[in-house]
Amino acid sequence: MSRQSLKRLVDGLTHLVLICAVVIALFPVFWILSTSFKPKPEVFSTELYLFPKTFTLDNYNYVMGLTTKISTREGSQEINLFVRWLTNSLIVAGATTIIGVVLAAGTAYAFSRFQFLGRRAALGSFLVTQMFPGAILLVPLYNLLNQLGLLNSWPGLVLAYCTTALPFSVWMLKSFFDTIPVDLEEAATVDGANPIGAFVRIILPLALPGIAVAAFYNFMTAWNEFLMALTFMTGEASQTLPVGLRRFVFQFATDWHYMSAGAVIVTVPVLIMFFLAQRYLISGLTAGGVKG
């Protein structure tokens, strides 16, 4: 076989394998999407329908229209559960993102620019937190939040999420600050700016892409988080979307059609954001990984 035709053969095989891989990578997502538009009999049929035979939005209407009664000081009141879960998810993820990034920025800057006593130990301690099993902080955090009366509350879950968002953001932002030349602050300081002014006016604007990536990553992690939300938010009305949607999973059966619609609603926003950010996200992660 000539070199030319060998290359063509290998290229063809490469395409074949990659196409198979893409099909496997996309199939579960496609299957959920397709199921979410099927009426219940089609979902529970033993016939296989790759696409919905009868297209319906009923599943979405049902999930978005779920209500529950909660008791308030004015008496019992009916609320829309889906709107409630969405609000909980948005507020918790949003607050975690902001607090995580704001607190991490200064710390990451200090790690990137200064030599000081205890630097290695402090940096190491931020890394070791990645090693904690989810379960080890769960029991004490549950009891801490319980004592503070913060179970089933937004601030409680935000505090819990900061235990992972903060160290992660510090490592990620540090690797971004490392790429910004130190001459810039030195020049600014020479011009009379104080170090904090130099940080806020020169470095932060330059690090904006990095900050955006860290923020996005924090938001996505909090939006998707399951274990802590399951443990700390036990009241029906205080749950986040991932935990709330579990109401369609019963011990012996699952309302797959409702669950699919709920899953699509949760997934679409992060999928869109992910693809807008993926280029920066990957370069940010690999930069951090190689240096770390």
Partner 1 sequence: MAHSPPGFSPVSPALYSMVQQRKLLPYAFLAPSMLAMIVLVFYPLVNGILFSFTDANQYNVVKRIGANVVPASYSFIGLKNYIDLFNQTTGEFWRVLAQTVVWTVINVALHVSIGLFLAILLNRKIRGRTLYRVLLIVPWAVPTFVSAFAWRFIFNQDIGFVNLMLARIGIGPVPWFSTQFLAMTVAIIANTWLGIPFNMVSLLGGLQSIPADLYEAANVDGASWLQSFRYVTLPQLQPVLTTIILLGTIWTFNGFTIIFLITGGGPAELTEILSTYAWRWGFQRWEFGIAAAYSVVILLILLAFAAFYIRYLNRTQAGAL
Q: Compare residues 78 and 251 and give the one whose CB is closer to partner 1.
A: 251
| Contact criterion met (CB below 8 Å) for 43 and 271 | no
> Considering the rule CB under 8 A, would residue 54 count as an interface residue with partner 1?
no
> Considering the rule CB under 8 A, would residue 286 count as an interface residue with partner 1?
yes
Interface mask (CB under 8 A) for partner 1, residues 183-212, using x and -?
Answer: x--xx-xxxx--x---x-------------
| Contact criterion met (CB below 8 Å) for 266 and 88 | no
Stretch that binds partner 1, among 60-68, 73-81, 207-215, 259-267 (CB under 8 A): 259-267
Degrees to nearest 5, angle at CA 125 with 123 and 130: 105
Q: Count Cβ neighbours within 10 Å for each residue of 86-106 and write b for 16 or more, e otherwise.
A: bebbeebbbbbbebbbeebbe
Q: What is the spatial distance between Cα 35 and Cα 30, in angstroms, rounded to a whole number?
A: 8
Stretch that binds partner 1, among 71-79, 80-88, 209-217, 242-250 (CB under 8 A): 242-250
Q: Compare residues 51 and 226 and give the one whose CB is closer to partner 1.
A: 226
Provide the minimum distance between the beta carbon of 43 and partner 1 in the complex, in angstroms, as a whole number: 7
- Which of 113, 180, 127 shows the shortest CA–CA distance to 289? 127
Q: Compare residues 9 and 67 and give the one whose CB is closer to partner 1.
A: 9
Degrees to nearest 5, angle at CA 96 with 92 and 99: 135
> Considering the rule CB under 8 A, would residue 46 count as an interface residue with partner 1?
yes
The only residue of 2, 24, 78, 124 in contact with partner 1, by rule CB under 8 A: 24
Provide the minimum distance between the beta carbon of 70 and partner 1 in the complex, in angstroms, as a whole number: 17
| Contact criterion met (CB below 8 Å) for 36 and 59 | yes
Q: What residues between 86 and 105 interact with partner 1 by CB under 8 A?
A: 103-104
Q: What is the spatial distance between Cα 175 and Cα 280, in angstroms, rounded to a whole number?
A: 13
| Contact criterion met (CB below 8 Å) for 261 and 60 | yes
Q: What residues between 105 and 164 interact with partner 1 by CB under 8 A?
A: 106-107, 109-110, 113-114, 116, 119, 122, 125-126, 129-144, 146-147, 149, 159-160, 162-163
